[in-house]
Copies of this chain bind each other. A is one copy, B any other.
């Protein structure tokens, strides 16, 4: 690494290293950048962009382009002259030497903020299930899901075997949290409103969209009256809800849901969350989902210079663990920045972190959302307008906001989804798979 990343010499400013530029890491970087020019900061991420994950399902269903929900990290931080952004992959942390080890080198820190997020939890089946059932955590996931959805329709259009058509037009979303619900609703709209009018041979009654949830209720974080309304709305859109239905197996041809075999060419996994490897790097205690157990000021026991936050950390508040949602990570990011400021100013430590719950929302289809804000509960069109407003406001970049708003307005009026791209490689990949399969069924027709 370059020597100016090295802050072990006493005559330089203290060096804050932030791993991960998701909601938590980016808020910490912005807060520290605004108030603390008297420090050096390095932000490390394995991509070059901050991703607005709550709208990934709209990329997956061809309503938005990847760029609409992504902003280059160094663009967001461009005015902070004390901040260096590095695109690299962290492979370990040496807490004794205060050093972060990356693919291409290493870097020392005085303060470390670990905000590396989470990925899907396949509950022990990651190697066998992930290649068959992508999740929805990053742009590559979203583009993979989009490809699968669009290609399934193209294949169904030219297929003659009714069983194969049924399988191609069966879309199974596993997991009834906000991501699964939003995705299933959007798939229903994509299928029935956007695609069906443009295909000549597909029988709409063959389309089968399932939302499979192991628990007795979807959207468990919401009050039952709201999640019941979301449930009815999903059913109105044509989504087949399977509650109390754990997925037992996923194959190339479908899923076993409880004891039923469901042939499905597209299976998407949104059923659980596993924290990043940070717990291993830090060699510290985690919960079952790999989340690092932090002290009330978000530091590690015995390492006051290391902060862990967002989906990578677990912290109890009022007897319950904090949920893995963007507002928690963002508030924690700003909190950590304030703790570091206090320390640098040699002030007394402030209060422990406390999450201020401003509410929850989830959307179902094109004009329906459920919202809980404090004691207020709302479901329907007005809730959806609120959902829309909040998501536009929290998107980073004026141009992104404008373009997303424009595309949503257009989609709302026309039912169109403009990002329906299948490239030739995608086609060739599916064609190889198809050939292998038709060979299996007794040779090409």
Residues of A participating in the B interface, judged by any CB pair closer than 8 Å: 1-2, 46-49, 65-68, 70-72, 74-75, 78, 84-89, 103-105, 138-140, 150, 154, 157-158, 160, 197-201, 397, 399-400, 402-403, 406-407, 410, 414, 416, 418-425, 427-428, 431, 434-435, 444-445
Contacts and interface: CB of A to CB of B under 8 A. Distances in A.
A229 to B, nearest CB: 32
Q: Is the interface of A mostly helix, strand, loop or mixed?
A: mixed
Number of copies: 2
23 contacts: A1-B160, A2-B201, A47-B422, A48-B421, A49-B421, A65-B65, A65-B68, A66-B421, A67-B419, A70-B421, A75-B416, A75-B420, A84-B201, A86-B157, A87-B154, A87-B427, A89-B424, A89-B428, A105-B158, A138-B423, A139-B421, A140-B425, A406-B406
A162 to B, nearest CB: 12
A178 to B, nearest CB: 24
Given A48-B420, A103-B431, 13 more contacts: A46-B427, A47-B427, A48-B421, A66-B419, A67-B419, A67-B420, A84-B200, A104-B158, A138-B424, A399-B410, A403-B403, A403-B406, A403-B407
A363 to B, nearest CB: 21
Given A199-B74, A399-B418, A410-B399, A423 B160 contact: no
Contacts of A66: 65, 419, 421
A431 B89 contact: yes
B74 A158 contact: no
Contacts of A424: 46-47, 89, 138, 140
A104 B434 contact: yes
A399 B435 CA distance: 37
Contacts of A407: 399, 403
A199 B86 CA distance: 10
Nearest to A399: B410
Contacts of A49: 420-422
Nearest to A72: B420
Contacts of A88: 158, 427
Contacts of A138: 423-424
Nearest to A160: B2
Nearest to A62: B67
A119 to B, nearest CB: 11
Nearest to A107: B158
Contacts of A199: 74
A444 B103 CA distance: 10
A157 B2 CA distance: 10
Could you say which of A67, A150, A425 has the most chain B C-beta atoms within 10 Å of its C-beta? A67
